[in-house]
């Protein structure tokens, strides 16, 4: 059955879209594409329209088809949560993988997130998307940013992915650095004499210099996702 036939059959059977479940699946699509704006652009819909659906608005048949095609997911799964997620996978196959998510219980110091002992839940990512970018879910950790020292690159409330297998410092890249019981997110730059400069993208924050040997680099920040 092609995609349009599937939606027509679903509507004919008057299968309702469960708001809470649908919103959750729509948020998974946002995660797969990276940002809400990326999903809206690929689906050919307005960003304001997508935010309306994320807030509980009911999309039309045409929009549902566009969203499913943009995310490469099964239309029935998007509407009802039933069946395989990926429209091209065999029934029962799993195209999503879970990445551990670390979030603070309350806002803390700027761009600081709790250490791995603070794990609460996880975020689903598309296996194919991770593979295309050379990422392995087993070496990834997700985190939620608090503060604005990395504005505009990473903003307060953004989710990030940290590749724990990439700890070698490359000039100009962003890394998670363990500082006691917390992690700091900073852009690193090698200096003469075995020192490293920790830079905040927000010019209001001072640059910090430290000996490279003293840095506990947890991993490289490889992805940032947020709602506009």
DSSP string, 87-137: TTSPTT---EEEEEEE--SS--STTEEE-GGGEEEEEEEEHHHHHHTT--G
The number of beta carbons lying within 10 Å of the beta carbon of residue 116 is 13
Residue that finishes a domain, picked among 28, 46, 80: 80
Question: In the predicted model, what is the mean pLDDT of residues 24-50?
Answer: 85
Question: What is the span of the domain harbouring residue 165?
Answer: 96-225
Q: Which of 121, 117, 116, 118 has the alpha carbon at shortest distance from 105? A: 118
Where does residue 92 fall: left (phi above 0), alpha (psi -120 to 50 degrees), or beta otherwise? left
pTM beyond 0.75, yes or no? no
**End-to-end CA, the chain:** 35
Report the C-alpha gap between 126 and 99 in whole angstroms. 10
In a domain, 86, yes or no: no
In a domain, 85, yes or no: no
Residue with tokens 């670390």: 102
What pLDDT does 228 receive? 65
Q: Answer yes or no: do 137 and 76 share one domain.
A: no
Question: In the predicted model, what is the mean pLDDT of residues 74-103?
Answer: 69
In a domain, 87, yes or no: no
Report the C-alpha gap between 199 and 186 in whole angstroms. 6
- For residues 226 and 110, the model is more confident at 226
Q: Count of domains in the chain?
A: 2
Contacts of 152 (CB under 8 A, 6+ apart): 201, 202
Q: Answer yes or no: do 153 and 211 share one domain.
A: yes
What pLDDT does 222 receive? 93
**pLDDT confidence tier of residue 153, bands split at 50, 70 and 90:** very high
Q: Answer yes or no: do 120 and 195 share one domain.
A: yes
- At 189, is the secondary structure helix, strand, or coil? strand
Q: Over 50: is that where the pLDDT of 43 sits?
A: yes
Residue-wise pLDDT tens digits, 169-181? 999 999 999 887 7
Residue-wise pLDDT tens digits, 187-217? 999 999 999 999 999 999 999 999 999 999 9
Q: Over 90: is that where the pLDDT of 33 sits?
A: no
Q: Answer yes or no: do 176 and 129 share one domain.
A: yes
Q: Which of 150, 162, 156 has the alpha carbon at shortest distance from 199? A: 150
What pLDDT does 57 receive? 87
Question: In the predicted model, what is the mean pLDDT of residues 88-100?
Answer: 60
């Amino acid at each position: 059955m092609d995609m349009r036939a599937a939606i027509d059959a679903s509507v004919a059977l008057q299968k309702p879209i469960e708001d809470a479940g649908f919103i959750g699946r729509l948020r998974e699509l946002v995660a797969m594409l990276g940002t809400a704006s990326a999903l809206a652009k690929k689906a050919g819909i307005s960003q304001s329209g997508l935010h309306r659906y994320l807030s509980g608005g009911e999309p039309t048949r045409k929009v549902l088809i566009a969203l499913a095609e943009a995310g490469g997911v099964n239309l029935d799964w998007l509407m009802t949560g039933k069946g395989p997620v990926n429209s091209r996978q065999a029934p029962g196959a799993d195209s999503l993988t879970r990445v551990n998510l670390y979030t603070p219980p309350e806002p803390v110091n700027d761009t600081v997130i709790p250490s791995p002992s603070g794990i609460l839940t996880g975020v689903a990512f598309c296996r194919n998307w991770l593979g295309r970018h050379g990422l392995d879910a087993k070496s990834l950790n997700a985190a939620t940013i608090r503060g604005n020292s990395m504005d505009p690159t990473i903003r307060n409330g953004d989710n990030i992915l940290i590749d724990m297998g990439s700890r070698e410092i490359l000039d100009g890249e962003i890394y998670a650095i363990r500082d006691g019981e917390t992690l700091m997110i900073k852009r690193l730059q090698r200096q003469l004499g075995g020192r490293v400069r920790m830079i905040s993208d927000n010019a209001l924050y001072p640059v910090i210099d430290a000996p490279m040997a003293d840095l506990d680099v947890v991993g490289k920040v490889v992805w940032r996702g947020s709602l506009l």
